[in-house]
Amino acid sequence: MCGRYRLSRRGKGVAEEFAIEEDVEWSPRYNIAPTDQVPTVRQDAKKPVRHLTLMRWGLIPFWAKDQSIGVRTINGMSETAASKPAFRESMRSRRCLIPADGFYEWAKLGPKEKQPYNFGMADDSIFAFAGLWDRWRDPAGKEILSFTILTTKPNSLVSAIHDRMPAILHRGDYDLWLDPGVKDPARVIDLLSPFEAQRMKKYPVSNRVN
* 105 is annotated as an active-site residue: yes
DSSP state letters, 162-183: -S-EE-BPPGGGHHHHH-TT--
Residue of 17, 25, 105, 113 with catalytic role: 105
Give 171: exposed, middle or buried? Use CB within 10 Å, 0-12, 13-18, 19+. exposed
Long-range pairs, 183-192, Cβ under 8 A, ≥24 = 183/92, 183/93, 184/92, 185/81, 185/82, 185/91, 185/92, 188/95, 189/78, 189/82, 191/130, 191/167, 192/78, 192/130, 192/150, 192/152, 192/167
Q: Which of 2, 17, 96, 143 is catalytic?
A: 2
The residues annotated with a catalytic role in the active site are 2, 105
